[in-house]
Structure 1
Amino acid sequence: MKKSYYLFNPGRLSRKDNTLCFLPVDEDGNEGQPRYIPIEGVDNLYCFGSLDANSAMYNFLGKNHVSVHFFDYYEHYTGSFMAKEYLLAGKMQVEQTRHYLSDKKRMVVAKTLVEGAAFNMSKNLKYYQGRGKDVAKQLGQIESYTPLISNAGNIAELMGIEGNIRQAYYGAFGEIINDFDMGTRSKQPPQNEVNALISFGNMMCYTVCLDQIYHTQLNPTISFLHEPGARRYSLALDLSEIFKPMLVDRTIFSVLNKKQLQASDFRQDINRCVLKEGAKKVFVQAFEERLKETFKHRSLGRSVSYKHLVKLECYKLQKHLLGMEVYKPFKMMW
């Protein structure tokens, strides 16, 4: 079974037959112990340190449909190497573009995405309310904003409603998380530990959505809620709105409340808070465990992982764009 590999150290990536060889190199140029990874077992690579690889290496990765995602020193996602879109289909591309160009059709999809995200955010708060957390005020705020979604007249108005919902949602984090204070949401740069984890986790969720889109006929650059733009895969931003509450936020609550991460695992660096290398590894491991976790899918009647759930969401969107089935976002039931 293919899986993701995370490269936290700088190093060189080379090929030996059908095996990848990663040779870590420290700041002084000293080489560490090489690690060998059979290519058939690699789904994608996440690079948090500088990677030295030549064009032949990327040709090899591309032929085996291995994506490489890059992050900078401050945990910002900077870009991806994606192999040639081997599943793109002309009819799907045409219909996806038509839905974007039609204000009416675009708003249908965009509203559905926001409704799904709002439901999952509320479900998170209800989960913790049932465990003694006082989040009634924030739940009430979200429930007052949610009916406005269906009446939004344009994307800008819809994004404003989504922003109000998310602001209310983040306002409950201080009640849910023990020993850490989130304050207000700060992104560029994150000012404290919780904001740093949210930014880092959201980027991880974005890349998961991008990977799953790549394995369908959807074009990742044509989106509905977020505006398509140069040098970004905006459809991954759309889909990540639905999955951030269950993948990112639940992971954050878990690692902080179980004290897997503490204040000493973060560092204040030039007016921003960043995760130390050990903290990144702890969060990534917990995030991967969440992706692998399975549950009984009520429609399919079988167990699926959260990672596969993202691909199923892509398939549902495909069917909607092709006029086969009305798109309904995944909504948590627990």
Structure 2
Amino acid sequence: MRAPFFIFSDGEIVRNQNTVLFIENSGKKKRLPVEMIGEIFLFGNVDISKNLIVYLSRKGILLHFFDFNEFYLGTYYPMEFNSSGKTLIKQVQVFLDEQKRLMLAKKFVLGISLNVLAVLKYYNRRGKDTLPYIEQIERLTRQIVSIKSHNDLLALEGKIWECYYKSFETIIDNKDFAFDYRSRRPPHNPLNAMISFGNMLLYSYVLSEIYKTHLDPRIGYLHSPMDKKLTLHLDIAEIFKPIIPHRVIFTLVNKGIIKREHFKKVDGGVYLNKQGLILFSKQFDHKMNEVLLDNGKNQFLTYRSIIRKEILKLEKHILGISEYIPYISRW
């Protein structure tokens, strides 16, 4: 599986015969191994040309763009070579059927809740007093099956996340990384900055994997496509937030890898600085390539492979081949 490539400096990406070079403004050059790259994450102010985009398109390489404060701007991907009219029609039919859409959305929320519980129980076994949060989320989880409307399901999901986020200070136990409350645009402290950045990285990874299937990323079931242009990757990413970006945060903070010095204040918000972005992205990519035993099968997979498999499971559900069951972490 081809790997991601991160660019944090300002400069220019140019095609050099049958390869690609990144030239920093300082003049430093770095060759990009295009045959080994699946996507490029652009955080710096980088110039690109049409000639380069044509070349990257032929290689099937995606470009993810972020602004100066790490917010995701968008993705360039090659023309929809994997698109399928049959699958698109099925996706729309499931969305328009209120009961089918609600059933699928419930599965996503169940996946969120069970993976949240897996994280909390993991740290409880390691001496962190997360039992009050476990008990509360277990009570909320039991309510999922009886939910009758999409709005009520979203409200329940919000309660699950709210309770879970309160546990962060227990898991981290570091006054420099107090949670307080969830804030997004802008994040008001380092912990919220990492949550937002980790989520955006995860969204980009999931979106890349969706583009490799026949599914259309514009049609989601938990998140409404009426509110956003792309929503399916948000649905799938929710399941993996507790076990990928949040575990990355706990590792970085509890091991002292990331510190207050790796953040900056801009326009009333707090964001990772360049060194912080590098540290976080490196740990995130390491997590994505972590090898673990797939649930119930004698098969070792990376998290990236598991996400790809999750999307294929969803596609089979939409096509009526097999019922979708969300991935649940086992530790």
Task: Give the TM-score category using the shorter length.
Answer: over 0.9
Question: For 1:240-290, what per-residue CA distance to the aligned partner results, in whole angstroms no more than 9, with x for missing partners?
Answer: 000111110000000000000011111222211111110110010000000
1:72 and 2:38 aligned: no
Partners of 1:18 and 1:39 within 8 A in 2 = no
Question: For 1:69-120, what per-residue CA distance to the aligned partner results, in whole angstroms no more than 9, with x for missing partners?
Answer: 0111111101110111211112111111110111011111100000001000
Q: Which residue of 2 aligns with 1:196?
A: 193
Q: Report which stretch shifted further, 132-141 or 119-128.
A: 132-141
Give 3-state SS (helix, strand or coil) of 1:15's partner: strand
Q: Which residue of 1 aligns with 2:328?
A: 331
Report 1:1-334 matches (<5 A).
1-25=1-25, 31-179=26-174, 180-229=177-226, 232-334=229-331
Q: Which runs of 5+ in 2 are unaligned?
A: none
Taking the aligned partners of 2:33 and 2:67, their CA distance within structure 1 comes to 26
Taking the aligned partners of 1:327 and 1:270, their CA distance within structure 2 comes to 43
Q: Structure 1 residue 232: deviation in Å?
A: 3.2
Partners of 2:21 and 2:29 within 8 A in 1 = yes
Query: Identity of aligned pairs, percent?
Result: 33
TM-score, structure 1 normalization: 0.96
Q: Structure 1 residue 3: deviation in Å?
A: 1.0
Q: Structure 1 residue 21: deviation in Å?
A: 0.8
| Cα distance change, pair 231–107 in 1 and its aligned pair in 2 (3 A) | closer
Partners of 1:266 and 1:274 within 8 A in 2 = yes
Taking the aligned partners of 1:248 and 1:232, their CA distance within structure 2 comes to 23
Q: Which runs of 5+ in 1 are unaligned?
A: 26-30
Q: Report which stretch shifted further, 95-104 or 136-145.
A: 136-145
Partners of 1:48 and 1:73 within 8 A in 2 = yes
Give 3-state SS (helix, strand or coil) of 2:313's partner: helix
Taking the aligned partners of 1:244 and 1:327, their CA distance within structure 2 comes to 19
TM-score, structure 2 normalization: 0.97
| Cα distance change, pair 172–231 in 1 and its aligned pair in 2 (3 A) | closer
Query: CA RMSD for the aligned pairs?
Result: 1.2
Q: Report which stretch shifted further, 222-231 or 11-20.
A: 222-231
Q: Structure 1 residue 300: deviation in Å?
A: 3.9
Taking the aligned partners of 1:19 and 1:217, their CA distance within structure 2 comes to 29
Taking the aligned partners of 1:148 and 1:330, their CA distance within structure 2 comes to 20
Q: Which residue of 2 aligns with 1:28?
A: none
Taking the aligned partners of 2:189 and 2:322, their CA distance within structure 1 comes to 43
Give 3-state SS (helix, strand or coil) of 2:32's partner: strand
Q: Structure 1 residue 4: deviation in Å?
A: 0.6
Give 3-state SS (helix, strand or coil) of 1:267's partner: strand
Give 3-state SS (helix, strand or coil) of 1:245's partner: coil
Report the residue type matching 1:22 in the other structure: F
Taking the aligned partners of 1:295 and 1:20, their CA distance within structure 2 comes to 33
Question: For 1:210-255, what per-residue CA distance to the aligned partner results, in whole angstroms no more than 9, with x for missing partners?
Answer: 0111111111111100011476321000000001111100000000
Question: For 1:143-201, what per-residue CA distance to the aligned partner results, in whole angstroms no more than 9, with x for missing partners?
Answer: 11112212222221111100000000000000001322111111111111100000000
Question: For 1:271-325, what per-residue CA distance to the aligned partner results, in whole angstroms no more than 9, with x for missing partners?
Answer: 1111111011001000000001111113442111001100000110011111111
Partners of 2:295 and 2:330 within 8 A in 1 = no
Q: How many aligned residue pairs are there?
A: 329
Give 3-state SS (helix, strand or coil) of 2:328's partner: coil
Q: Report which stretch shifted further, 140-149 or 40-49.
A: 140-149
